[in-house]
Structure 1
Amino acid sequence: MPSDDRRRFLDEFVTLLAGWNMPANAAQVYGFLLLQSEPASLDEMAKELEISKSNACKAAKLLETAGHIRRVGERGSKRVLYVAREDFGTPFLLRTASLGALNRLMETRGAKLADPEAVRRIEELASFYGTMQSAMEQIITADTERADKTI
């Protein structure tokens, strides 16, 4: 069982990531892996977090698909271990692409379809999405370069 301080950290982490629509078990597993210096197995995660191994497995699959964690092999074993990714921007790549799509939608169709009084708002929203996409791309690029140096 985690220490009281680790438990409080994980509880707060779960609460904060709920706002990003991350399930509680996935947030717990992600927080746990962020705090680990070594890869962890599903058995270790389940035991430490007091969740079932099947819930740990579901959480790990979700986190891996989203780009938050990755699998690592263990020499001479078929056991799967997981670590938190070092490139923190990976999970945001889809959101960044989505901002670009929203920008294009507002610019190409939204402005044409909006009531005359709403065109300014649509154009400003398109600009906001474009600015957010550009900023996120710069941050992700810088983070990827940082992660590449640490690996």
Structure 2
Amino acid sequence: MLSDDQRRFIDEFVTLLAGWNMPANGAQVYGYLLFQNHAASLDEIAEALEISKSNACKAAKMLEDKGHIRRVGERGSKRVLYVAREDFGTPFLHRTASLGALSRLMETRGARSADGPASERIASLASFYAVMQTAMEQIIAADTERAEKSV
């Protein structure tokens, strides 16, 4: 069961992740799994968070698709268990790639379509996106290396 401090953490976590467009049930399940020292079943998740098993299942599927959690098998059982991923950069891979696409769009079509100060602004934005992509790729690579060493 969750302590009062853990529940407060999860409540704040839900509020903060809403700004990243994460549904409340998803943020709750992710927060719960961050506290677990073992893989958790949908039944355990639903009971601890006081949500339906179907809502826990939908949230787990979304989190798994986005790279926040992963499934683990239980030897001799068909039961599905979930854990929070140790490689925290995985959910940001798609966003990182989109920064590169934005940079290329600004450099090609944006630059061709604008002139004067607007052209300079678009070129600066292209450079900003490229720098952000490089920085995020470096951070994700370092985190992936950390996660691989901890396993």
Q: TM-score, normalised by structure 1?
A: 0.98
Matches within 5 A, 1:65-144: 65-144=65-144
Moved segments of 4+, more than 3 Å: none
Give distance in 2, aligned partners of 1:88 and 1:125.
27
Q: Percent identity?
A: 79
Amino acid at match of 2:98: S
Structure 2, unmatched stretches of 5+, are: none
Distance 2:2 2:72 in 1: 23
Query: Which structure 1 residue ranges, 5 or more long, are not aligned?
Result: none
Partner of 1:59: 59
Aligned equivalents of 1:23, 1:82: Cα separation in 2: 18
1:4 Cα deviation after fit: 1.4
**Paired letter, 2:94:** L
Question: Deviations 1:59-86 (Å, cap 9, x if unpaired)?
Answer: 0000000000000000111000000000
SS of the aligned residue for 1:82 comes to: strand
Give 1:18's aligned residue: 18
1:34 aligns with 2:34: yes
Shift of 1:105: 0.3
- Find the aligned partners of 2:76 and 2:2 in 1 and give their Cα distance: 29
Matching residue's letter, 1:4: D
Give the match's secondary structure for 1:46. helix
What does residue 44 of structure 1 align with? 44
Deviation digits for residues 90-139 of structure 1, max 9, x if unmatched? 00000000000000000011011024220111011000000000000000
Q: What is the rounded CA distance, in whole Å, between the counterparts of 1:132 and 1:4 in structure 2?
A: 38
**Counterpart Cα distance in 1 of 2:99 and 2:139:** 15
Return the alpha-carbon distance in structure 2 between the equivalents of residues 123 and 117 of structure 1: 10
Which residue identity lines up with residue 149 of structure 1 in the other structure? K
Rounded to whole Å, the distance in 2 between the matches of 1:9 and 1:117 is 46
Task: Tell me the distance in 1 between the aligned counterparts of 2:2 and 2:115.
Answer: 56
Cα distance in structure 1, aligned partners of 2:84 and 2:134: 26
